[in-house]
Amino acid sequence: MMNCILICLLCGLYGVLAKDKERKGKYSIPILDVKTQQLVLDTNQTLLLSCRGRWELTWAFPPGLARDKVRVEESRCGRTSQQYCSRVMVSRSQAQHTGTFRCRYQHRPRKQTSVYVYVTDSQQPFVEQPGMSPDVLYLKEKQPLVIPCRVTHPNVTTTLVRFPNQSLSPDQWNIIWNSKQGFTIQTPTVHNIGLFFCQTITDGVTHKSHKYFVHRPVSNIMDVYLNSSGPVQALKGTKLTLNCTATGELNTRVNITWDYPGKSNDAGSTSKRLLKHRTHILFYSILTIPELHRSDRGLYKCRVTSGEKTKQQNVTVTVYDRPFIHLKPRHGTVMEVQAGQKSYRISPKLKAFPAPEVIWLKDGMVAAEQCSRYHMNGNSLVIRDVAEEDAGKYTVLVRIQEHGLYQNLTLTLVVNVSPQIGEKAVSLQDPGSVPRGSKQALHCTSHGVPPPHIQWLWHPCPSKGLPAAPRA
Ligand SMILES: *[C@@H]1O[C@H](CO)[C@@H](O)[C@H](O)[C@H]1NC(C)=O
Ligand SMILES: *[C@@H]1O[C@H](CO)[C@@H](O)[C@H](O)[C@H]1NC(C)=O
Ligand SMILES: *[C@@H]1O[C@H](CO)[C@@H](O)[C@H](O)[C@H]1NC(C)=O
Ligand SMILES: *[C@@H]1O[C@H](CO)[C@@H](O)[C@H](O)[C@H]1NC(C)=O
Ligand SMILES: *[C@@H]1O[C@H](CO)[C@@H](O)[C@H](O)[C@H]1NC(C)=O
Ligand SMILES: *[C@@H]1O[C@H](CO)[C@@H](O)[C@H](O)[C@H]1NC(C)=O
Ligand SMILES: *[C@@H]1O[C@H](CO)[C@@H](O)[C@H](O)[C@H]1NC(C)=O
Ligand SMILES: *[C@@H]1O[C@H](CO)[C@@H](O)[C@H](O)[C@H]1NC(C)=O
C-alpha cells in the first residue's frame, strides 16, 4: 500500500518534471499561462489568457464568441525575443462564451493547448445562441448520439427530456452527462427519435435548453434519371440545362453531385429542389451551363448518394461550332425496286443540327399528297406496295430556316415490272382451224420494265391433223 503511493507519487513527479522540461525546452506545442484544464468565471468578468511558443500563434474560440468581442495582442517575448507571445482579452464574458479556447501554431494547427472556460450565469444555465431552435440531429445506427446541451457551470445537474415529458436520467452506461458536451446516448435506437431537450432546476426555477429534433435519415434511393435518355447535342454559345431527378423513400436525404468536363473551371451552376409526395420524395438538381464552349463536350454524370448508397446516370453532350446539314445518297442516286414489293424505304444519309425540317417531293410535288401509299418515317420516305407508277424523281428538301440553311437531293427510282403477256389477261381464244396455205397473224402483246424481249416457240399439236405453221 505504502509502496504503491510512493510509486504513484514518483510517477506523478516524473510526469510534472517531464512536462516542465518540455515547456522550458522545446515548445513543441504552445503553452498557456493557465495551468488548469478549466476556468470558471462569472458573467461580466474579464477573461485573460496568455500563450507562448516558438512560432507564430493563432487562436480558436468557442462558437458563441464573436471575433469582435475579443482583443488579441501579439508580441515577441523571451530573453532574446525569439519566442512568440499572444494575449487574449474578453472584457465582458457572457454565458454563451462558454467553451474551449485553443492556442495553436499557425503553420501546424494540430500543435495546440486548450482550456475550457465556463462563464456562469444563473439566468442562463445552457450555452446557446439565440435563433437556432430547433436543431436537427441525425441519428445514425451504431454511432453515439450527442444532444449538445452544454452548460455554463461545471456542477449543474440536468435531465434529458423526450417531448412531451419522458425523463431520461444519466445512467453512466448508456446515457452519459458531460457539462462540456451535453448528453451522449451511446447506443441510440429508433426509440430515440423525436423532440428532445435538456432541463435543469436552479433556485427553484426550471430552465429548458434548445429543442433538438432527432431524425433518423433513411437512405434508400429508388431511382435516378436524367431528363435526356439519349446523347444531347447543342450549339456553341447556347445554354445547356440538364435535370437530374432522384426518387427516394420518405425520410431519405440525398446529396446530388455533378461531374462534367467544365466542372474544374466552374462552367456550370446547380440549383436544387425537393418535392414531397405521400409515398416518396423527389429530389431535383438542375445543372445549367449558361454558354457552351467546345471544351464542354463530353460525359455528364449525375451522382446521387445517400449514406453509403450511390446511384449514377450519365449522358454525352456534343457541342457543335455551327449549325449544319450533311445530305448525300446512301448508295448512288439511282435506286431499283421490284414492283409488288411490300414496302420500300428511300433513306439518304442525313446529319444535321439543329433538327431540320424535311420534305419529300415526287416529280416536283409533295409526295405524301400524291399518293396515300407514301409516308414519312423519320427522315425517310416509305412507299408501301410498290407499283410501276412509283418510278420517278424523288427530291428531299432539308432546311433549317432559323439559320438559313437549305439542301436538297434528288434520287431516281426505277421500278422493275415482270414481263406480262396481255393476251393472257383476256380469255384465250382458240384460233380454230384455218385453211392450209392461208396467211395467219398471231398477236402477242407484252409489257414489263425494262421492256421484255419476246421469243416465239412452236409446239406441234399432239393429236390429229397437221399443225398450223407459226408466223411471227
Ligand atoms: C453585466 O453588466 C451589465 C451592464 O453593466 C448589467 O446590465 C448586467 O446586469 C450585468 N450582469 C450580471 C450578471 O452582473
Ligand atoms: C463543483 O463541485 C465540487 C464538488 O462538489 C466542488 O469542489 C467545486 O468547487 C464545485 N465547482 C464550482 C465551480 O462550484
Ligand atoms: C406526462 O406523461 C404521462 C404518461 O407518462 C401522461 O399521463 C401525462 O398526461 C403527461 N403530462 C403532460 C403534461 O403531458
Ligand atoms: C425538371 O426539374 C423540375 C424542377 O425544377 C421538375 O419540375 C421537372 O419535372 C423536371 N423535368 C424533367 C423532364 O425531369
Ligand atoms: C431538362 O430539363 C430542363 C429543366 O426542366 C430543361 O430546361 C431542359 O431543356 C431539359 N433538357 C433536355 C435535354 O431535355
Ligand atoms: C452529404 O454530403 C455531406 C458532405 O459531403 C455529408 O456530410 C452528408 O452526410 C451527406 N449526406 C448524405 C445524405 O449522404
Ligand atoms: C453511364 O451510365 C451507364 C448506366 O448508368 C453505365 O452503364 C455506364 O458505365 C456509364 N458510363 C460511364 C462512362 O460512366
Ligand atoms: C435544290 O438545290 C439547288 C442548288 O443546290 C437549287 O438550284 C434548286 O432550286 C433546289 N431545288 C429545290 C426544289 O429546292
- Cβ-contact 440, 431 below 8 angstroms: yes
Evaluate whether residue 170 is within a structural domain. yes
Counted domains in the chain: 4
Same domain, 185 and 209: yes
* Over residues 239-244, mean pLDDT: 95
CA atoms of 348 and 333, how far apart (whole Å): 9
Evaluate whether residue 441 is within a structural domain. no
For residue 192, what pLDDT is reported? 79
Using pLDDT thresholds of 50, 70 and 90, give the confidence band for residue 2. very low
For residue 425, what pLDDT is reported? 63
Same domain, 50 and 91: yes
Longest dimension (CA), the chain: 160
* Over residues 331-359, mean pLDDT: 95
The percent of residues in the chain predicted with pLDDT above 90, rounded, is 58
Is residue 178 predicted with pLDDT exceeding 50? yes
Closest ligand to residue 302's CA: 7
Ligand 6 atom, smallest distance to 217 CA: 13
CA atoms of 95 and 129, how far apart (whole Å): 10
Burial 293-329 (b: 16+ CB within 10 A, else e): eeebbeebbbbbbbbeeebebebebebbeeeebebeb
**pTM for this entry:** 0.48
Same domain, 344 and 400: yes
Evaluate whether residue 362 is within a structural domain. yes
- Ligand 1 pocket check: which of 41, 42, 43, 93 to mutate, most ligand atoms within 8 Å of Cβ? 43
* pLDDT digit string, tens, across residues 66-77: 989 999 999 999
CA atoms of 146 and 165, how far apart (whole Å): 19
* Over residues 358-378, mean pLDDT: 93
Closest ligand to residue 166's CA: 3
Evaluate whether residue 275 is within a structural domain. yes
Evaluate whether residue 284 is within a structural domain. yes
* Over residues 126-138, mean pLDDT: 73
Same domain, 225 and 303: yes
Same domain, 227 and 315: yes
Domain boundary among 182, 215, 248: 215
CA atoms of 124 and 122, how far apart (whole Å): 5
For residue 437, what pLDDT is reported? 85
- Ligand 6 pocket check: which of 255, 281, 304, 308 to mutate, most ligand atoms within 8 Å of Cβ? 255
Same domain, 252 and 186: no
Can you point out the beta strands (E) in 140-220?
Answer: 145-147, 159-162, 166-168, 175-178, 182-185, 194-202, 205-208, 212-215
Closest ligand to residue 408's CA: 8
Is residue 365 predicted with pLDDT exceeding 50? yes
For residue 12, what pLDDT is reported? 42
For residue 134, what pLDDT is reported? 60
- Protein residues with CB under 6 Å of any ligand 5 atom: 227-228, 232, 241-243, 286
Ligand 8 atom, smallest distance to 395 CA: 13
Query: What residues have CB less than 8 Å from 40, skipping those under 6 apart?
Result: 117, 118, 120, 153, 154
Is residue 390 predicted with pLDDT exceeding 50? yes
Q: Which residue has the higher pLDDT, 470 or 412?
A: 412
- Ligand 8 pocket check: which of 365, 366, 408 to mutate, most ligand atoms within 8 Å of Cβ? 408
Bridge pairing between strands 298-306 and 309-320:
antiparallel
> What is the residue-averaged pLDDT of the chain?
86
Same domain, 229 and 316: yes
For residue 361, what pLDDT is reported? 96
Evaluate whether residue 456 is within a structural domain. no
Domain boundary among 165, 200, 215: 215
Evaluate whether residue 465 is within a structural domain. no
3-class DSSP assignment, residue 3: helix
Burial 213-233 (b: 16+ CB within 10 A, else e): ebebeeebbeebebeeeeebe
CA atoms of 71 and 50, how far apart (whole Å): 12
* pLDDT digit string, tens, across residues 293-303: 999 999 999 99
Q: What is the CATH number of the domain that holds 362?
A: 2.60.40.10
Same domain, 33 and 94: yes
Same domain, 154 and 176: yes
Query: Phi-psi region for residue 129, left (φ > 0), alpha (ψ -120 to 50) or beta?
Result: beta
* CA dist list (Å): 133 to 168, 212, 394: 21, 7, 75
Same domain, 315 and 225: yes
- Cβ-contact 125, 74 below 8 angstroms: no
Same domain, 99 and 153: no
Q: Which domain holds residue 257?
A: 221-320
* Over residues 124-128, mean pLDDT: 91
* pLDDT digit string, tens, across residues 153-176: 999 999 999 988 889 888 888 999
Same domain, 228 and 186: no
Evaluate whether residue 53 is within a structural domain. yes
Domain boundary among 174, 193, 215: 215
The percent of residues in the chain predicted with pLDDT above 70, rounded, is 89
